[in-house]
Chains A and B, each alone.
Chain A
Amino acid sequence: MSAQVCASLRLKKKDKMTKISPENYVAEARKAIKNQVLQRALADLQNRFGRGTAESYRRLPEGPGLRLKAHDIRMQTIENLDVVLETLAANIRKNGGRVFFAKDGQAAIHYCLEVAQRHKVKRVVKGKSMVSEEIGLNDALINSGIDVFETDLGEYIIQLAGETPSHIIAPAIHKTRDDVGNLFADKLDIPYETDPPRLTWIARKALREKFVTADMGTSGCNIACAETGHITTVSNEGNIRMSTTLPRVHIAIMGMERVAARLEDHDILLRLLCRGAAAQNMATYVSYIGGPRCANQADGPEEFHLVVLDNGRSRILADEQFREMLCCIRCAACLNVCPVYGKIGGHSYGYAYSGPVGAVVTPLLVGINRAKDLCLGETLCGACQDICPVNINLPRMLLALRGKLAEGDTVWGVTPADRKEKFLFQAWSWMIRNRKWYDLALKLAATGQKLFTRKDGMIRRLPPPSHGWTKARDIRPLAAESFVRRWKKGI
């Protein structure tokens, strides 16, 4: 990659990579729905992966019920997270690795920069990691003059394009082969191509040079193992193995919940993770990394650092209503079945985490009021829980968030979303408990609606404050006579 491209990457990424914008949910969703290319890509993704995952659960010898057991394993770990994390850290240190506990994104970034500076790092290769998106690691490294290369093909594409991932495991799902062809022609100075195998090979060639010349590699962690002292990385491309084998230094960053207590827990969790993420029995590569290279080993990093990140997670842990969210292993299965994600795509959610998981996690991490549209936008259909490899009750938590928005909450600092709405519901509640007033209201409405009913018998538009109901649909008018009245008349 030329110096020019690096410079332009630097500029573009500065304002895009860490932008948190859940406030734009409605506007972005509207845009996404009109984007035909995106609609096709999302439908294709959901047809393939959503169905594939469900099918792969059915093929499990233990059946889909294994997800319940996985939930228990995750919950047990989360409820003992203090002990589990201490064990993990002690074991990694015993293997010669270093562990840093970061309270927030800033502390994590500060630590990474310090390590990079100590080793005079000029070039970083990154394995895909959503937690690094969460804290804006790329930005920080780039701003301190380090070249950063995303190495997952999808991440590489969106980095070249100066965009953000639109899916947790298929980050460039919103790009067509023509988009990628144009992008590569433009940024890599090569002839225009649209053949996916060729495009993949071009990226393979371009990134191979980065892998062998990088001084530092970074990765996330899928599920660490406390009792042995290892992180695990799971990938199909091999880019994470490259990033964690070839450079002198390896920094892994993990959300503090991404750990299992025992080695045997990985049996169920890994099998379900691979199925949830890509309907695979096993991903191509799974690595257990527990420390730097040992004496006489020919390769592997000289230093291994693990950054354990809180960044708002302990607050989620403290709330029994939301603790369950920490069971999530970020496989993105819920994105692949969600009817809302399937229409609005990942960018609408305005943060690293999209889909149903984003609709719960983002409000909890960045502020419930700020990201209120995310939890209001979901349908509560329950598809996300049915496909979740660890059976997280996402609909319950979406409702709990809505409850906080309606009532307000001091612990989470939530101001009630709309006082007018609350007043209306109180009035409604009073009215339906008072028969006479209710009947009167019905009668008034039945008469009044004649003004709005069209010839075809449907109501196209209601007046304020009820106009929201007819924004996206026509509704039927009330019956001329209520059922109770007809019953009394003996029908």
Chain B
Amino acid sequence: MSKSNQEEFINRVKMALGKPFSNERQKADLFSHEMPAETRAILERVKNRTVEDRKRLLETLTEAAEPINLKVIPVNDVGAVATAIAELVRDKDPEWGDPKSVAAWQHPLIESLNLPDALSEQGVPVVFTDLQNTDEADLRRRVIASYIGVTSADFCMADTATLVMRTRPGQARSVSLLPSIHIAVIEIDQIIADLKELYALLKWDPLKRKEGVTNCMTFISGPSKTADIEATMIDGAHGPREVYTFVIAPDDFEDDADAPPE
């Protein structure tokens, strides 16, 4: 059904453009398969970042985060993150009156926080969003009931204070969406400068391009907000009302410019 629809539709477009004939050459022009020199330079820059460069990016990120109410918190190690999250869990109350529970990604960095242990003292359960031990409906119920969601991210763009997340099994999209508080944990070398670097990495970096954009890539810049009533800006429209980003930046972290940036 849709095939013939498409043909008719595209033919109408071709007629409108006044070129009812073949267009292979034009296709090659539009979608180049060679890396432009500019992109190569961007990838080199990302790859060769020094410790100083990365610290500067963290500063840029912190500055950009402030006006959009994103809280960026640099820490030394995963232990400090776990402690900080336990404190948040203690201080914050669930928005919808459910008993306290936390949803978290199944992700090496997040698992290394050992949240179930860190929160066991308070008796707060942690739900990991993989389908190995439970079914989808149960998982969904438990994410909906969680008031804090803990994720990592693929990248964080410093210029706009934007977390970039690609979808994978175990890393549910709703963890950064349904809970009232979203906590993201990243390492300092995941910070990149801007959209240009992101797109260059996704399209041309041998490791990143293998996975590509995935079926859902999300950018998150701060808490959900709206200005729909009398143009008054208010945090907490439908998504999380508070967003925290913990950046793990070891004090003694060595210049390991040759390692891939993740």
Residues of A at the B interface (CB closer than 8 Å) are 41, 44-45, 48-49, 76, 79-87, 89, 95-96, 98-103, 107, 151-154, 157, 170-173, 175-177, 180, 196-197, 199-201, 204-205, 207-208, 211-212, 225-228, 230, 236-239, 241-242, 245-246, 256, 261-264, 266-267, 270-271, 278, 281-300, 304, 308, 310, 314-315, 317-318
Which residues of chain B are within 8 angstroms of A81 by Cβ–Cβ distance?
13, 17
Rounded to whole Å, the gap between the CB of B100 and the closest CB of chain A is 18
Quick check: B224 and A317 within 8 Å, CB to CB? Answer: no
Q: Say yes or no: A290 contacts B238, CB within 8 Å.
A: no
Q: Which of chain A's residues has its CB closest to B237's CB?
A: A237
CB of A298 within 8 A of CB of B199, answer: no
B168 and A297 contact, CB distance less than 8 A? yes
A196: which of B15, B27, B224, B232 is its contact (CB, 8 Å)? B232
In chain B between 67 and 110, which residues have their CB closer than 8 angstroms to a CB of chain A?
A: 68, 96
In angstroms, how far is the closest chain A Cβ from the Cβ of B200? 7
B215 lies within 8 A of A284 (CB):
no
A264 touches B2 (CB 8 A): no
Residues from chain A with a CB closer than 8 A to the CB of B234 are 196-197, 200
Closest beta carbon of chain B to A414's beta carbon, Å: 19
Q: In chain A, what residue has the closest Cβ to B225?
A: A236
User: Does B64 make an interface contact (CB < 8 A)?
Assistant: yes
Please tell me if the beta carbons of B219 and A286 are within 8 angstroms of each other in the complex.
Answer: yes
Q: List 9 interface pairs A-B (beta carbons < 8 Å), by A numbering.
A: A49-B231, A83-B23, A87-B31, A89-B6, A237-B224, A238-B224, A267-B199, A287-B216, A300-B215
**Residues of B with C-beta under 8 A to A82:** 10, 13-14, 17, 19, 23
The listed residue (A99, A170, A298) touching B228 by CB distance below 8 A is A170
Q: Is B130 an interface residue (CB 8 A)?
A: yes
Nearest-neighbour CB distance to chain A for B101, whole angstroms, equals: 16
Is the pair A287, B227 in contact by a Cβ cutoff of 8 Å?
Answer: no
- Complex CA gap A20/B250 in Å reads 61
**Are B173 and A245 closer than 8 Å at their CB atoms?**
yes
Q: Is B222 an interface residue (CB 8 A)?
A: yes
Roughly how many angstroms separate A293 CA and B140 CA in the complex, as a whole number? 14
B203 touches A264 (CB 8 A): yes
Query: Which of B136, B170, B215 meets A289, CB within 8 Å?
Result: B215
A263 near B215 (CB under 8 angstroms)? no
Say which residue of A175, A298, A310 sits within 8 Å of B9 (CB atoms): A310
Q: Please, how many angstroms separate the alpha-carbon atoms of A52 and B162 in the complex? A: 21
Alpha-carbon separation in the docked complex, A82 to B10 (Å): 6
Q: A206 to nearest B CB, angstroms? A: 11
Residue of A nearest to B214 (CB): A290
- In the bound complex, CA of A261 to CA of B18 (Å): 20
B231 — which chain A residues lie within 8 A by C-beta? 41, 44-45, 48-49, 170, 173
Interface residue from A103, A227, A284, A317 paired with B225 (Cβ < 8 Å): A284
Hey, which chain A residues are within 8 Å of B9, CB to CB? 85, 101-103, 256, 308, 310
Chain B residues with CB below 8 A from A267, complex form: 194-196, 199
Instruction: Known contacts A86-B10, A100-B2, A298-B172; decide if A170 and B199 are in contact (CB<8 Å).
Output: no
Which among A230, A237, A281 is the interface contact of B239 at CB below 8 angstroms? A237
Q: Separation in Å of the B7 CB from the closest CB of chain A? A: 9
Known: A285-B219, A300-B216. A98 touches B2 (CB 8 A): yes
User: How close is B201's CB to chain A, nearest CB, in angstroms?
Assistant: 11
B binding-site residues for A, Cβ under 8 Å: 2, 5-6, 8-10, 12-19, 23, 26-27, 30-31, 39, 64, 68, 96, 129-131, 136, 139-140, 143-144, 159-162, 167-170, 172-174, 177, 194-196, 199-200, 202-203, 212-232, 234, 236-240
Expressed in whole angstroms, the minimum distance between the Cβ of A52 and any Cβ of chain B is: 11
Whether B228 and A157, one on each chain, are in contact in the complex, defined by CB atoms closer than 8 angstroms, is yes
Q: How far, in whole Å, are A98 and B1 apart by their CA atoms in the complex?
A: 11
CB <8 Å contact, B221 and A284: yes
* Further contacts, 13 of them, CB under 8 A, given A262-B30, A294-B169: A82-B19, A85-B10, A100-B5, A103-B9, A151-B238, A196-B229, A200-B228, A230-B217, A237-B226, A263-B203, A289-B215, A290-B213, A298-B129
Give me the 9 closest cross-chain CB pairs, A-B, nearest first. Answer: A238-B239, A237-B237, A296-B169, A154-B228, A318-B16, A101-B9, A282-B160, A238-B224, A317-B16
* B215:A293 contact, CB within 8 angstroms: yes
Are A288 and B17 in contact, with the CB atoms below 8 A?
no
Which residue of chain B is the closest to A289 with respect to CB atoms?
B216
Q: Which residues of B contact A79 (CB under 8 A)?
A: 17
The answer to whether B219 touches A228 (Cβ under 8 A) is no
What CA separation (Å) do A197 and B231 show in the bound complex?
Answer: 12
Inside 8 A of A48's CB, which chain B residues have their CB?
Answer: 231
Residues of B contacting A245 with CB < 8 Å?
Answer: 173-174, 177, 216
B20: shortest Cβ distance to chain A, in Å?
10
User: Which residues from chain B contact A204 at a C-beta distance below 8 Å?
Assistant: 236-238
Contacts A284-B220, A290-B214; A310 near B12 (Cβ below 8 A): yes
Please, how many angstroms separate the alpha-carbon atoms of A99 and B2 in the complex? 7
CA distance A207 to B232 in the complex (A): 20
Whether the Cβ atoms of A84 and B216 lie closer than 8 Å is no
Measured CA separation A283–B219 after assembly (Å): 9
B222 touches A284 (CB 8 A): yes
A225 contact set on B, CB distance < 8 A: 213
A101 adjacent to B2 (CB under 8 Å): yes
CA distance A83 to B23 in the complex (A): 7
Q: A86 to B18, alpha carbons, bound, how many Å?
A: 17
A299→B172 contact, CB < 8 A: yes
Name the residue in A89, A157, A208, A314 with the highest tally of chain B Cβ atoms < 10 Å from its Cβ.
A314
Which chain B positions have C-beta within 8 A of A80?
23, 26, 30
> Complex: how many Å from CA A245 to CA B176?
11
The answer to whether residues A153 and B174 also contact, given A101-B5, A267-B199, A317-B16 and a CB cut-off of 8 A, is: no
A80 to chain B minimum Cβ distance, whole angstroms, is: 6
* Nearest CB on B from A187, distance (A): 15
Asked if B221 and A297 sit within 8 Å, CB to CB, the answer is: no
Contact (Cβ within 8 A) B237 A242: no
Tell me whether A282 and B221 are in contact (CB under 8 A): yes
A254 smallest CB distance to B (angstroms) = 13
B16 touching A315, Cβ below 8 Å = yes
